[in-house]
Chain A
């Protein structure tokens, strides 16, 4: 049986870092948060005042001092955001919340113990992991269960307002950074109205050309998906944590997962750019780009499903003496056929959407003529292609969701 926690010897010295890392992490998180608020606010202010944004209006050491002061004050006088997230708070020796005067005293005492840095580091060697200012004011860090009666509505808490402030600052900064210009919406409206009027009057003479382009697009998506299944299914077994055990297994798992993550992070369009350089413009690079990305996405979906299979049949067949292949074939595969098919249909749907635009970078299909039409201000042609795209994507979306309903 376990020994009660408070009887176990407390680690001292640098080993105490293992226990105290949470406090350090919380302080760091708060510091980053305050720094973010400061930087974004300076950007907003500088943009509003001078028209050019700069993140640092003051020397970097001023930023540092402000951050440190605010974080320390916030943590001492109230509940900071990171403290709320992890459930830590500052309490007195009997685990009850401290009165405000004691908190102020703690904040002031913190200055004394922090400036030579020794006071806070002393927590590493202290018997109860208290730093000097904690000792002097009789407070400590602890994780305290919040009782429903003591839970205050967010409007009266500092962390609640800090979130609101962060939201406001972020959105304002975002509006500046992304150059939101509502005036442009108004001034550009007449020109845009012409464009829209032409788009909804498609040029029907391009119908047969559009349909053959659409066919190529659909085939691109089909080929990419079909061939991706071939590679993704075996790879998914290598990327499932519960199947890959042992030293060799774990390293294979890590490598496969890592490579797939990287491949997945690069959008198919970027892959298409690379493949266009490789095999020249046409539908082939589009197929390759979708193929590569699909493998990565499918492996992620498949392996996540593999990691949550019902272990019962696997147990039963192992207990009956089956070897690894038999366990997979009889215990795992019957469970996963339907989910795998469902994910494949989902991916096919996405591939069709991607295939419609991959022509923009030279990947073939309907994307290319559509993009050219928009460049040449032939909006009625563009409207025709867009109409075909809408019909095709809608149909396949409907088909895919109905089939997936049937599978589950």
Chain B
């Protein structure tokens, strides 16, 4: 089934990129329209220009049309990025007329492909509906809200379910036939021919590296992708400036009133450096030791758990069977999700679990460390030299022996380097995790800032700078020694 469905992936990626960029551009345009309407007509700051519901469809369709036109008439960012170029079937340069003629077939191709993709969704949706109906029928609550039929005596329910299954099977078969035919028509790669839209106008899409370089590269301001890139950057800066409410006026105006606090910060007050502050029950030095040990424990914990997990997340070790693939996907998914949530949020969650304090901080740091180190480690495992592993497997060693003697010796230096890198990051994170109740020096910093004791804030900041800088320097030197 697969070869029939093979579409030119590069063209798909290129279209996705171009379409997304144009959608983004249209978003920027709408944003600016809203902004200028508010500024000129002086309505409230949350007023939005009324946008008709069909407007979204129009925008999507218009950007798709624009993307296809752009791809054909020039070299779009997507085509430049994937490295494609349009030429005539006899490898001559594609004239403007040919490009113009290609637009309509290209549009039809993508529209039909969209239809095909929607068709493919029918069987899964049908199956889902069926399952849910069966669940409702038997009384088990699957997903609330989607009821197909009320409770009925079980023979009738069984009969209805069987009928549904049969018709679903027929539907799936029909869809498969239709999509096969459609895509076979649009992209007859099996027959070794060009896609239909190219065949109709006698053109070809070739990798850009195959083109002969016959002249100097066109200057960027004369290419469509160069101009659109500039447009994108300009719009982004403008919209970003407005969206993030940057105001240099405020910055300068308030600099005078807040300048004093800089003066206070750089004259630090170290009275509570060794002596505990009576309110906080802790001294800066004590909090510092707590912070460093938090990072240490988190790195150790993370290392211990990430090490075995990394093998589960390495493609070259895991993907020898369907079970392996599943484990690999789940592990990688876990790494990505947990990594995406920053340590501070984890600290909030763990503070609920084990109450405020350094332990919550350790757990939060460790969780993020496991995911981050796990990802780095498994990438390293995937990049090993397969030679020794092959040799060992060929001589009859078991899987764990191959890992122990063939894989691990290759990865130890980089594992150490990554661990040190992570240790460095953990020290930085642990200095601020106290802000949300994680313990360590961040708690003290936040307290002093809330009490507007800026001299003490300066002292804490000075200590943080020295410690982080020291850790950074030491870890950098040790990493140099390792490599």
Contacts and interface: CB of A to CB of B under 8 A. Distances in A.
B300 interface: yes
B373 to A, nearest CB: 15
Nearest to A287: B244
Interface centre among A177, A374, A390 (most CB of B within 10 A): A177
Contacts of B337: 390, 394
A191 interface: yes
Interface stretch (B89-97, B156-164, B247-255): B247-255
B243 A215 contact: yes
Contact of B432 (A178, A267, A282): A267
A216 B236 CA distance: 12
Interface string B334-362: 00110111101100110011110111011
Interface residues of B, number: 62
A250 to B, nearest CB: 19
A195 B296 CA distance: 28
Contact of B250 (A174, A274, A280): A280
A371 to B, nearest CB: 7
Interface in A294-324: none
Given A226-B236, A356-B342, A361-B435, A184 B354 contact: yes
Contact of A177 (B236, B290, B339): B290
B392 to A, nearest CB: 23
B340 A178 contact: no
B244 A284 contact: yes
A162 to B, nearest CB: 18
A155 interface: no
Given A178-B290, A189-B353, A364 B244 contact: yes
B436 to A, nearest CB: 7
Contacts of B349: 192, 195, 199, 374
Given A226-B236, A270-B432, A397-B340, A195 B352 contact: yes
Interface string B439-450: 100000110010
Q: For the side of the interface on A, what is the size category? A: 35 or more
B297 A223 contact: no
A84 to B, nearest CB: 14
B42 interface: no
A173 interface: yes
A360 to B, nearest CB: 6
B204 interface: no
A159 B1 CA distance: 63
Contacts of A393: 339-341
Contacts of A364: 244-245
B293 A266 contact: no
Given A178-B290, A178-B294, A278-B255, A171 B362 contact: no
Interface in A182-203: 184-185, 188-189, 191-192, 195, 199
A219 B250 contact: no
Contacts of A283: 243-245
A262 B469 contact: yes
B359 A273 contact: no
Contacts of A270: 431-432, 445, 461, 464
Interface centre among A226, A284, A354 (most CB of B within 10 A): A284
B354 A188 contact: yes
Nearest to A263: B465
B211 interface: no
Contact of A353 (B240, B296, B342, B428): B342
A150 interface: no
Nearest to A265: B468
A262 B355 CA distance: 33
A239 interface: no
A90 interface: no
B178 interface: no
Interface string B210-249: 0000000000000000000000010011011101111100
A223 B358 contact: no
B243 A216 contact: yes
A173 B293 contact: yes
A397 B244 contact: no
B464 A192 contact: no
A15 B225 CA distance: 68
A219 B244 contact: yes
Contacts of A280: 250, 254
Nearest to A187: B354
Contacts of B247: 279, 284
B250 A279 contact: yes
A374 B346 CA distance: 11
Nearest to B445: A270
A234 B27 CA distance: 33
A386 interface: yes
A354 to B, nearest CB: 7
Contacts of A390: 337, 340-341
B348 A397 contact: no
B304 to A, nearest CB: 11
Contacts of B251: 278-279, 284, 288
A223 B344 contact: no
Nearest to B296: A174
Given A267-B428, A283-B245, A287-B244, A397 B472 contact: no
Contact of A386 (B250, B345, B361): B345
Contacts of A171: 297, 300
Interface string B459-471: 0010011101100
B258 A222 contact: no
Contacts of A266: 461, 464-465, 468
Interface in B355-389: 355, 357-359, 361-362
The 10 A-B pairs at the shortest CB distance, nearest first, are namely A393-B340, A265-B468, A283-B244, A192-B353, A178-B358, A184-B354, A219-B240, A223-B240, A174-B293, A390-B340
25 contacts: A175-B297, A177-B290, A178-B362, A180-B297, A180-B359, A185-B354, A189-B353, A195-B352, A216-B243, A219-B243, A223-B237, A223-B240, A265-B464, A270-B461, A270-B464, A273-B446, A273-B449, A279-B247, A280-B254, A284-B246, A284-B247, A390-B340, A393-B340, A394-B336, A397-B340
Given A226-B233, A386-B345, 12 more contacts: A177-B358, A179-B357, A184-B354, A195-B349, A219-B243, A222-B240, A223-B240, A226-B240, A261-B472, A270-B432, A280-B250, A283-B245
